[in-house]
Amino acid sequence: MRLTKEIYLVGSGEFGLSHDFDCNIYVIDAGDGLIMVDSGAGLGVEEVMDNLSRDGLNKSVRWLLLTHAHADHAGGAHAFRQRFRCTVVAGAPEAGVIERGEEKELGLDVAKRSGFYSPDYVFNPCKVDLPVNHGNLLRLGNVSVKVLNVRGHSPGSMCYFCEIAGKKVLFTGDVVFAKGVIGLLNYEGSSLGEYRRCLPLLRGLGVETLLPGHGIFVLRGGQRHIDLACSRLKRLQIPPNFI
Ligand SMILES: [Zn+2]
């Protein structure tokens, strides 16, 4: 599903584009190759491939940016890396979690108990070719990317702040969603205190297009949605949450 001239939504459980477990999977046409942002859970890979060809995207995925290690975002990385021989990029704090693929480290045990995955779901571990840290700058085709480590949802959650055809685009994973919603979990590694400390990193970026890992995306005025979450975190109440 084409969102802008360069950006497509090629997978999503919520939008019925791929397997129910899949987060939003975005693809950017970066000129001489495609950038995929998040990979879904790994059960909707064929549907994603169909969506790529239906959208006329017959270039190869050269880079796969993972926002964090959770299975609905990183579980498909192994399959796409095998298929495209793409460079897998993920935050250094969670690269080992993706490479080991252990259920407890991934939070999959609790997520299965909570009914988010079927008991027989298996996470395929994936090599991370390029672990990144806060402040790293990448040039992928004609897209520039600044890596922002915004902890709160998980310790290695990375937001990818991109300039795409002169527009400021932010991929947030599960850090912040449309309408000022945050992704706080009742699980080790997720922290309201880290949200208070780190979410202000996203202030003042002038984000036009906000592309979160779940729910609706925002094509114009994305910064307002982020600022709403920031201002809510300054009050006593816990801001609205995504689950
Ligand atoms: Zn997550």
Please give the chain's pLDDT, 243 residues, in tens. Answer: 999 999 999 999 999 999 999 999 999 999 999 999 999 999 999 999 999 999 999 999 999 999 999 999 999 999 999 999 999 999 999 999 999 999 999 999 999 999 999 999 999 999 999 999 999 999 999 999 999 999 999 999 999 999 999 999 999 999 999 999 999 998 889 999 999 999 999 999 999 999 999 999 999 999 999 999 999 999 998 899 998
- The per-residue pLDDT for 57 is 96
pLDDT at 188: 87
The amino acid at residue 198 is C
Tell me the three state secondary structure of residue 91. strand
DSSP H helices, 8-166, are 45-54, 71-74, 77-84, 92-100, 103-106, 108-113
Nearest CA to 37 out of 85, 84, 82, 74 is that of 74
Closest to 140 in 3D by CA, of 159, 122, 162: 162
N- to C-terminal Cα distance for the chain?
25
Six-digit token string for 21? 């477990």
CA dihedral angle for residue 153, residue 198, residue 162, residue 222, rounded to 10 degrees: 80
**pTM reported for the whole predicted model:** 0.97
Determine the Cα–Cα distance for residues 103 and 117; give it in Å rounded to an integer: 12
Q: Where are the domains of the chain?
A: 7-232
235 DSSP 8-state letter: S
Distance 176 CA to ligand 1 centre (A): 11
Per the listing, tokens 């689950």 go with 243
Identify any residues that bridge with 76 across adjacent strands, giving them in sequence order: none
Distance 50 CA to ligand 1 centre (A): 25
Distance CA 195, CA 201 (A): 10
Å from CA of 68 to ligand 1 middle? 7
Cα-to-centroid distance, 73 and ligand 1 (Å): 7
From the CA of 32, how far away is ligand 1's center (Å)? 30
In Å, how far from its chain's centre is CA 36?
10
**Nearest alpha carbon to residue 172 among 237, 128, 140, 217:** 217
The class of domain 7-232 in CATH terms is alpha beta
Q: How many Å apart are CA 23 and CA 13, to the nearest integer? A: 6
**pLDDT recorded at residue 75:** 98
Ligand 1: centre distance to CA 91 (Å): 13
Distance 22 CA to ligand 1 centre (A): 11
